């Protein structure tokens, strides 16, 4: 199985980047982060939840379970959006960068789990 990690973009340290491929997986570019701050990371805004789903979720904990189901359905319907991630994961470790504050309820966690499941399928 591939080695997937998720990391908050605000904690990312370019001077000590993780091994393997790094992807920024937010649809919107995070405030206060320059492209130079994450040089070497590929931005995949289409791998993030749709704008309507992101707005509906609003990072409300009580909506996370349903959000995860809806987001997984979006990913199932458009697997091409994750192709760069899955291709990189077949070759080595992958880090997914996200901007959300809560490490327990965010789309990167759902995306990581979906990728792990679909890499072996």
Residues 91-112: pLDDT tens digits? Answer: 999 999 999 999 999 999 999 9
Q: Distance from first CA to last CA of the chain, Å, rounded?
A: 11
Residue 90 near residue 119 (C-beta atoms within 8 A): yes
Nearest CA among 61, 63, 31, 54 for reference residue 107:
54
- pLDDT at site 16: 72
Average pLDDT over residues 34-55: 94
In angstroms, what is the C-alpha Rg of the chain? 14
CA atoms within 13 A on the CB side of 48: 22
Q: What percent of the chain has pLDDT over 90?
A: 82
């Amino acid at each position: 199985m591939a080695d997937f990690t998720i990391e908050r973009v605000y904690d990312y340290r370019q001077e000590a980047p993780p091994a393997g491929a790094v992807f920024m997986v937010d649809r919107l570019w995070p405030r206060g982060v320059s492209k130079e701050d994450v040089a070497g990371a590929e931005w995949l805004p289409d791998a993030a939840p749709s704008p309507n789903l992101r707005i509906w979720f609003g990072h409300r904990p009580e909506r996370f379970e349903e959000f995860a189901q809806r987001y997984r359905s979006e990913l199932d319907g458009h697997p091409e959006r994750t192709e760069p991630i899955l291709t990189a994961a077949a070759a080595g470790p992958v880090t997914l960068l996200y901007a959300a504050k809560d490490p327990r309820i965010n789309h990167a966690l759902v995306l990581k789990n979906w990728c792990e499941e679909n890499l072996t399928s």
